[in-house]
């Protein structure tokens, strides 16, 4: 299978790889997927007092498209509010990366990951989900 | 590391390049100035010349495997040979019995043919191999029923390269009066085959796995004791009525020459490939959490199938774009299922997802292997740094106890 240039770029130069301290109060952590399916994404967001996502980190076990989807997402959520980040659709990710039909599920997982991270942050900070 | 434009080819189990010596022989059978005749044209020089070349090739194939040339039937490849053998024998013997035994790790050409027969009233037992990939003879014997007519077990597995003890299986089946078919697509030219001593009744062969062209194969059909088949291709009655269709002289000459070369060079080539394979293995075995799939001893020289835990196979293949290899990862098969062969060995899904198959061959060099080792070590590390599972492993978390939010 030949990958789109953007997927290759994110794979060769992934943005925001790493870990935040998940016990930090300003951090929301979302872990989705399962090893049995061949895809596991951990997405973390650091939210400031104004409710803006100031930073994000990810680690992914999965194919090139999965890595690219999560990497792209960490780029997109920076500077967004929680609601804006929540509104990101998997179709946007799939379009940006030119994912073929058989890889769309990677973008779906990335959407699930950011939602999970946001839920986690909100639960920790006692906000209404 | 200097980047290569054309990847290093390490996928010899998928196909092989045609040996230049083989290509040269084939070219002489194409154009007006060559031997282009129809081997069945009994009445003129062009036919006689083509027939002569076909019969010489038939002998070359027979010589590699210890068979009589009269026992060789030309087909379009091992898939067709498997179909002819299994369907041909089953339909011929259906009044005698309806039970067939095979193994879960067989090639799809065998498994799918068996499924077809199941839809047609036959019953099939699919044996589980042991965790090293080998078939247990006691389990095979236990599966035999009074109405068993055929056993089909491949000689060498295409994914993990393990070699089954077909000599022993043949003794068992012959003692019970059951036909024994062997898919030899991956074994011809790599391991010794002597059909004079091995009690195999039907054996499938492929040219393109041993430096011959794609689109030609053969089926060994034993004459003593005689094996009868129902033909699957009907027409002019070629190949003693077993497989109709004009014989493609150039393809057959190619297969014959490939098999002739294989017979001559097998021992030396095998030793060379074993050395290269061990060089590769030595270069990576100290990497943490690396698993070899399949028995290392009963294995063809050039095959190494490795799982790199906590890394997904397709992303590893993408990282290894300077190598042409294949993976047992779901992402790389067109269904999203991990390799059924690795699953049948008892490998969990994660290890099946993270496997890479390296198959070395005639044109693989030491420099190729060294470059591969360097690349592997670099990329495995990079991908582990990207992997949340590796983090969890390093923290001492037992991943089998985690509750995953699967999608």
* CA gap A60, A70 in Å, rounded: 7
Mean pLDDT of the region A12-20: 93
Question: How far does the CA of residue B47 sit from the closest CA of chain A (Å)?
Answer: 44
- CA dist list (Å): B203 to B72, B87, B218, B359: 9, 13, 8, 23
Percent of chain A beyond pLDDT 70? 97
- Among candidate residues B402, B328, B314, the one with its CA nearest the CA of residue A106: B314
pTM over 0.90: no
Interface A:B, Cβ pairs < 8 A? 93
Amino acid B346: pLDDT: 87
> Taking CB atoms and an 8 Å cutoff, what residues of chain A touch B332?
1
Written as one string, the DSSP assignment of B28-75 is TTTSTTS----TT-TTSHHHHHHHHHHHHHHHHHHHHHT--GGGEEEE
pLDDT tops 80 at residue A1: no
Amino acid A2: pLDDT: 64
The residue that leads in pLDDT, A124 or B251, is B251
Mutate to test the interface with B, among A2, A61, A108 (most CBs of B within 10 A): A61
Contact criterion met (CB < 8 Å) for B387 and A39: no
> Taking CB atoms and an 8 Å cutoff, what residues of chain A touch B331?
38, 63
Q: Of the given ranges (A29-43, A46-60, B7-21), which has the lowest mean pLDDT? A: A29-43
Amino acid B37: pLDDT: 97
Q: What residues have CB less than 8 Å from B334, skipping those under 6 apart?
A: A102
Amino acid B162: pLDDT: 93
B314 has a chain A CB within 8 A of its CB: yes
Nearest to B318 among A3, A109, A112 (CB): A3
Collapsing DSSP to helix, strand or coil, B127 comes out as strand
HSE-up (13 A, CA, CB side) for residue B329: 29
* CA gap B283, B306 in Å, rounded: 13
Amino acid B236: pLDDT: 96
ipTM confidence: 0.91
Q: How far apart are the first and last CA of chain A?
A: 40
Written as one string, the DSSP assignment of A52-74 is BEEEEEEEEES-HHHHHHHHHHH
Q: Do β-strands B179-183 and B148-152 pair in parallel, antiparallel, or remain unpaired?
A: parallel
Question: How far does the CA of residue B125 sit from the closest CA of chain A (Å)?
Answer: 27
> Taking CB atoms and an 8 Å cutoff, what residues of chain A touch B319?
11
pLDDT, tens digit only, all 407 positions of chain B: 556 678 999 999 999 999 999 999 999 999 999 999 999 999 999 999 999 999 999 999 999 999 999 999 999 999 999 999 999 999 999 999 999 999 999 999 999 999 999 999 999 999 999 999 999 999 999 999 999 999 999 999 998 999 999 999 999 999 999 999 999 999 999 999 999 999 999 999 999 999 999 999 999 999 999 999 999 999 999 999 999 999 999 999 999 999 999 999 999 999 999 999 999 999 999 999 999 998 888 999 999 999 999 998 888 888 898 999 988 665 666 666 778 888 888 888 778 878 899 999 999 999 999 999 999 999 999 999 999 999 999 999 988 888 887 64
Question: How far does the CA of residue B405 sit from the closest CA of chain A (Å)?
Answer: 5
HSE-up (13 A, CA, CB side) for residue B75: 26
**A:4-23 residues touching chain B, CB 8 A cutoff:** 8, 11, 14, 17, 19
Nearest to B407 among A17, A32, A67 (CB): A32
Amino acid B321: pLDDT: 87
B3 has a chain A CB within 8 A of its CB: no
Contact criterion met (CB < 8 Å) for A66 and B315: yes
**A:46-105 residues touching chain B, CB 8 A cutoff:** 59-64, 66-67, 102, 105
Contact criterion met (CB < 8 Å) for B388 and A61: yes
* CA gap B331, A63 in Å, rounded: 7
Amino acid A73: pLDDT: 96
Cis peptide before B177 (omega within 30 of 0): no
């Amino acid at each position: 299978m030949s990958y789109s240039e953007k997927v290759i770029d994110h794979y060769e130069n992934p943005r925001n790889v790493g870990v935040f301290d998940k016990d930090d109060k300003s951090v929301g952590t979302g872990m989705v997927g399962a090893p049995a399916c061949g895809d596991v994404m951990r997405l973390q967001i650091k939210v400031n007092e104004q409710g803006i996502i100031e930073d994000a980190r990810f680690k992914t076990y999965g194919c090139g498209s999965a890595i690219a989807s999560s990497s792209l997402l960490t780029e997109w959520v920076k500077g967004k509010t929680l609601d804006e980040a929540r509104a990101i659709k998997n179709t946007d990710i799939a379009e940006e990366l030119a994912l073929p039909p058989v890889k769309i599920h990677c973008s779906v997982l990335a959407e699930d990951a950011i939602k999970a991270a946001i839920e986690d942050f909100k639960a920790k900070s006692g906000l209404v989900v | 590391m200097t980047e290569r434009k054309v990847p290093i080819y390490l996928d010899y189990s998928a196909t092989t390049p045609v040996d230049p010596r083989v290509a040269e022989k084939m070219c002489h059978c194409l154009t007006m100035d060559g031997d282009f005749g129809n081997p069945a044209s009994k009445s003129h020089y062009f036919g006689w010349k083509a027939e002569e070349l076909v019969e010489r090739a038939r002998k070359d194939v027979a010589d590699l495997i210890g068979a009589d040339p009269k026992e060789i039937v030309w087909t379009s490849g091992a898939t067709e040979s498997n179909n002819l053998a299994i369907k041909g024998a089953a339909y011929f013997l259906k009044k005698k019995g309806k039970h067939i035994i095979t193994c879960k790790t067989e090639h799809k050409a065998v498994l799918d043919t068996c499924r077809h027969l199941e839809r047609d009233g036959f019953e099939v037992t699919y044996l589980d191999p042991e965790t090293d990939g080998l078939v247990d003879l006691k389990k095979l014997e236990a599966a035999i029923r009074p109405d068993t007519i055929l056993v089909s077990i491949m000689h060498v597995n295409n994914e993990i390269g393990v070699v089954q003890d077909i000599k022993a299986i043949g003794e068992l089946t012959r003692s019970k009066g059951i036909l024994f078919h062997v898919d030899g697509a991956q074994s011809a030219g790599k391991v010794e085959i002597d059909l004079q001593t091995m009690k195999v009744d039907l054996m499938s062969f492929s040219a393109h796995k041993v430096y011959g062209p794609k689109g030609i194969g053969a089926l060994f059909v034993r004459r003593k004791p005689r094996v009868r088949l129902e033909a699957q291709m009907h027409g002019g009655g070629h190949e003693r009525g077993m497989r109709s269709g004009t014989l493609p002289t150039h393809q057959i000459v190619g297969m014959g020459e490939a098999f002739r070369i294989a017979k001559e060079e097998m021992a030396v080539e095998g030793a060379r490939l074993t050395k290269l394979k061990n060089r590769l293995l030595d270069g990576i075995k100290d990497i943490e959490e690396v698993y070899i799939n399949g028995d290392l001893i009963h294995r063809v020289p050039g095959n190494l199938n490795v799982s790199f835990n906590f890394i997904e196979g397709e992303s590893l293949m993408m990282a290894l774009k300077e190598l042409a290899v294949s993976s047992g990862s779901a992402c790389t098969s067109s269904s999203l299922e991990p390799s059924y062969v690795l699953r049948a060995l008892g490998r969990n899904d994660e290890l099946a997802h993270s496997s890479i198959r390296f198959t070395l061959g005639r044109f693989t060099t030491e420099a190729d292997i060294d470059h591969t080792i360097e690349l592997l070590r670099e990329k495995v590390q990079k991908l582990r740094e990207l992997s949340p599972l590796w983090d969890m492993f390093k923290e001492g978390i037992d991943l089998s106890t985690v509750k995953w939010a699967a999608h």
